Structures are given as C-alpha cells and as structure tokens.
C-alpha cells in the first residue's frame, strides 16, 4: 500500500518516519514527500585504463570521483548554484537524512517541473529498503539541451513515495543487507584492499 497524504502526515507527526533536518509541512504532497538538494556533490571522472566493475570485491571507485561542497560560497561570498550541464552525470545527496521503520520501504522519483527540462534524479535505482537510515543518493543526469541550475539546500529536486510492507523486516536482516545505510560517499566501499591505478 502506498501511503497517502493523511498517512504521511500521521507518520511524520508520530515520528514513525523521521528526517534530519526535519521537513516542513509544505513538503508533504498527495502521495509523496519532497526532499531538498543537499550540499555534497560527487562527479564521476573519466580515467584512462579504468573499467568499472563493482561486482569485484576489491574494486575501489573512490579515486574516480571528485567531490565538492556547495556550502562554500563563491569568490564574492555568494551562495553557489549547482550547474548540471547537458549530458553531464553526477551523484548528489538529499539535504534530509531519512530514517525508515522496518515495515516501510520507499522509492525516489524526480519532480515533474525539473523532468520537463530533462533532469533525471535516478538512473536506474529508485528503491530504498525498509529500515534505511541516511541521505538519499541522487544520480543526476541532464538529458535536456540546456544547462540546469539548482540551489543546494533550497530546491526540492525529488520526492519519496512510501510503501507499507505486509510484514516487517527483522533488524538483523536489515543490517546485513543494507549496503548504503548511513552512506557518506556515493560509492560502495570495497571489501578488498586494491585500488584502481
């Protein structure tokens, strides 16, 4: 069952679903909750001789991303916009960290007002497991013909749709399968020690 407006308000007010920083009432929609763009952005860079193979335990993609923090103002002390150029791909986090209970999962989707200019907020990974804790990773890609500027910390760039599960997932199962719980980087940490050269 997808949670509608009344269920979403109730889940938020009773702190069944929590956000940090907290959302505002106007972020709650008919059947979803809007989230804002965060400040940390990572861009995947081309590296000669590197092929991405995340299925290998020792593959470490950390050296392939450049990171930027949009809390830092420009040279004149003004807030910076995040510009997504046409055909550009980057990973950003939502401003809000989300804490889901063990009987509610979610999916992240783009907002129509941005999608109509060509902005995708997830490439192929919209699903968020029950018991997830952390910011939501947004796989931003500009499919349109023009650059798109976004205001980190302000613009609502995506929304979450919440699904109530028929049964709650055991805590031990959630912990063992939650790859990106409490994520701080846009990649999966390797279990081996090798790094790409």
Residues taking part in catalysis:
139
Task: Annotate 68-97 with b (16+ C-beta within 10 A) or e (fewer).
Answer: bebeeeeeeeeebebebeeeeebbbbbbbb
**Other beta carbons less than 10 A from residue 30's beta carbon:** 7
User: Which position has the token pair 């952005």?
Assistant: 41
Q: Read off the tokens for 106.
A: 């979610």
Please say whether the beta carbons of 45 and 186 come within 8 A.
no
Cα 43 from Cα 148, distance rounded (Å): 16
């Amino acid at each position: 069952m997808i949670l509608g407006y009344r269920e979403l308000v109730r889940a938020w007010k009773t702190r069944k679903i929590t956000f940090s920083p907290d959302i505002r009432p106007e972020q709650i929609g008919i059947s979803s909750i809007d989230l804002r763009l965060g400040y940390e952005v990572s861009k995947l860079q081309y590296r000669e001789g590197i092929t991405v193979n995340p299925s290998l335990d020792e593959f470490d993609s950390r050296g392939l991303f450049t990171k930027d923090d949009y809390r830092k103002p420009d040279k004149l002390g003004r807030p910076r916009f995040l510009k997504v150029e046409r055909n550009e791909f980057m990973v950003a986090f939502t401003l809000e960290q989300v804490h889901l209970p063990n009987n509610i999962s979610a999916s992240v989707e783009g907002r129509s007002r941005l999608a109509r200019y060509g902005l995708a907020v997830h490439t192929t990974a919209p699903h968020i497991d029950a018991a997830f804790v952390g910011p939501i990773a947004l796989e931003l890609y500009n499919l349109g013909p023009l650059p798109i500027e976004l205001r980190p910390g302000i613009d609502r760039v995506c929304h979450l749709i919440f699904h109530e599960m028929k049964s709650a997932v055991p805590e031990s199962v959630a912990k063992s399968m939650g790859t990106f719980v409490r994520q701080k980087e846009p990649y999966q940490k390797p279990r081996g020690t090798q790094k790409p050269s």
